[in-house]
Amino acid sequence: LVEAELPVGAPPKSAWGVIYAALAMRVRRGIKPFTVMSCDNMPGNGSLAQRTLFEFASAKAMAGDIFAGEVSELITSGAVTFPSTMVDRITPATEQSHKDFIEQKFGIRDNWPVVAEDFKQWVIEDNFTNGRPLWEDVDEPPLLVPGEDVHVYESMKLRLLNGSHSAMSYASYLAGHRLVGPAMADPKIFGFVASFLDEVLPTVMKAPGVDLDAYRNKLLDRFSNPHIEDTLLRLAEDGSQKLQTTMRPVLLDHFSAGQEFRVMSIAIGAWIRFMTGIDEQGEAIHGVKDPAGGEKLKELAINVVADPNEVTVGILLKEYFGEEVASHPAATTLIAKAVKDISDQGITQVLERYAGKR
């Protein structure tokens, strides 16, 4: 798609092509540039947008576009700004049950309803050129913060919400659950997630205006919402990438502080067991999506489950968590023990110790 847009005069088709064309038009007409605000659900989305657009402009320059140099200058000089954003709202993929609910409740047949929880948090870096929308005039405005504070909110969400989502997904699926709400109604799962959050909390930097204990409690309420009907398989997707941003930094902080991470070890052990592709009843787990991990991750997971020890675990951790985690004796020992306990006792028995935790 992008390659077809590079020749001089080629019509834009991709988002980057359209943004570049708009900036080039402003250069031609002597109009001030605009702000490019990414809402992609990923950390540092503003910086990533800036880098990607600059690479597109550089490719246009190589193709002979006479405006590419000036557009590139706008991007690198700060004349075009790229504020980062962070959104926190659970929005599951559309399921048949959602369509049926809308039809039964409102008499409307909508083939693609967007289901979301009541809670929402939108944090935006206050870095705009030529003004910005007057969000102050709306009932529930986003939170505008300095650039460095966006990272604090992102880190909080990644470690607490995303990390506990992943931890819950693998353990709950192995325990026989398929939806988040019913899983959280299981006292063992609820207690496990609560314990995971408590173990992570000491590593989380406090975001301005956020009570971390209240945020932790609110997460447990949000996950327990029976009406969202979010699937555990959706939360389990792309673990080989997600765990690098949600659990790896927490492990490193625990290493530095000399703190234990037994709950996270069980979460990672459940992930390894899940990624073998076979559940505890010996049935294939259908719908596992982790293209980055692929067959290599499955092979390594099978090796660990077949012989859970510091060596097999270290090989897998080095591939997906890096040498710093893989070489830490406590990490390989605790995770190997977690995998062995899950294999020998079953995940339900392993989680029994967390029942009743609030």
pLDDT at 227: 86
Q: How many CB atoms lie within 10 A of CB 228?
A: 18
pLDDT at 229: 86
pLDDT at 250: 98
Say whether pLDDT at 12 is over 80.
Answer: yes
Helices (H), 78-186: 96-106, 147-156, 163-174, 180-184
Say whether pLDDT at 147 is over 90.
Answer: no
Where does the chain hold its CATH 1.10.1040.10 domain(s)? 146-354
CATH class, domain 146-354, is mainly alpha
What amino acid is encoded at 230 in this protein? Answer: D
Say whether pLDDT at 18 is over 90.
Answer: yes
- Tally the C-alpha atoms within 13 A of residue 159's C-alpha that lie toward its C-beta: 27
Distance CA 74, CA 14 (A): 20
pLDDT at 319: 97
For tokens 């954003």, the residue is 85
Do 240 and 290 touch, CB atoms closer than 8 A?
Answer: yes
CA dihedral 33, 42, 95, 197 (to 10 degrees): -140
Helices (H), 42-162: 45-62, 68-77, 96-106, 147-156
Among 185, 297, 285, 191, which residue's Cα sits nearest to residue 242?
A: 297
Q: What is the pLDDT of residues 154-187, one digit of tens each?
A: 999 999 999 999 999 999 999 999 999 999 999 9
Across the range 194-218, mean pLDDT stands at: 96
Share of the chain above pLDDT 70, in %: 100
How big is the chain, counted in residues? 358
Q: Exposure string (b/e) for 231-254, b if CB count within 10 Å is 16 or more?
A: bbbebbbebbebbebbbbbbbbbb
- Rounded to the nearest integer, the mean pLDDT of the chain is 96
Q: Name every residue whose Cβ is closer than 8 Å to that of residue 170 and which is 6 or more positions away in sequence.
A: 236, 239, 267, 270, 271, 273, 274
Query: What angle in degrees, to the nearest 10, is found between the helix axes of 68-77 and 45-62?
Result: 160
Beta-bridge mates of residue 231: 179
Say whether pLDDT at 141 is over 90.
Answer: yes
Say whether pLDDT at 54 is over 90.
Answer: yes
Do 304 and 316 touch, CB atoms closer than 8 A?
Answer: yes
Say whether pLDDT at 148 is over 90.
Answer: no
